[in-house]
Copies of this chain bind each other. A is one copy, B any other.
Amino acid sequence: VLNEPKPINLKSELAAVGELWEPRVVGQVNDYDVCIAKVDGEFVWHTHENTDEFVLVLDGELRLTLRDGNGERELILSKGSGFVVPRGVEHRPAATGASILVFEPTGTPTTG
């Protein structure tokens, strides 16, 4: 570990991202992943039944719509803002060109 400690440069990692909405794992903390993703347009509605999910906006603006039986609520998250999507809450991320960091258990399916 001490021979090759590997700093994580988010800018370089983002430059290596190809697909939109495809999380790239940049670090592992026990059984959790630190991921980054480039996002654009509207993603699908989904729910993570068994885990919370932390999202931090690195660049641009993320629109995160939450919904339950009573209706929808849209959150606008700008650069430097984050949100913990609680387990079981249906949500749909959307953006006009943004990059995000996500912290979630390893193996969490992107679409819930």
A positions within 8 Å CB-CB of B: 1-3, 5-11, 26-30, 32, 34, 51-54, 56, 58, 66-68, 70-73, 75, 77, 80-84, 86-87, 89, 101, 103-105
How many identical subunits does the complex contain?
2
CB distance from A39 to the nearest CB of B (A): 17
- A-B pairs with the 8 shortest C-beta distances? A8-B82, A27-B84, A29-B52, A29-B54, A10-B80, A2-B73, A9-B81, A7-B81
Tell me, in angstroms, the Cα distance from A71 to B83 when the chains sit together: 40
Tell me, in angstroms, the Cα distance from A58 to B57 when the chains sit together: 12
Tell me, in angstroms, the Cα distance from A3 to B29 when the chains sit together: 32
The one of B2, B67, B83, B101 in contact with A68, judged by C-beta atoms closer than 8 angstroms, is: B2
The residues of B that contact A5 with a CB separation of less than 8 Å are 66, 73, 75, 83
The residues of B that contact A84 with a CB separation of less than 8 Å are 8, 27-29, 34
Assess whether B30 is in contact with A52, with CB atoms less than 8 Å apart: yes
Contacts A5-B66, A7-B77, A8-B83 supplied; 9 other A-B pairs, CB < 8 Å: A2-B68, A2-B70, A2-B72, A5-B75, A10-B80, A26-B82, A27-B84, A34-B84, A56-B101
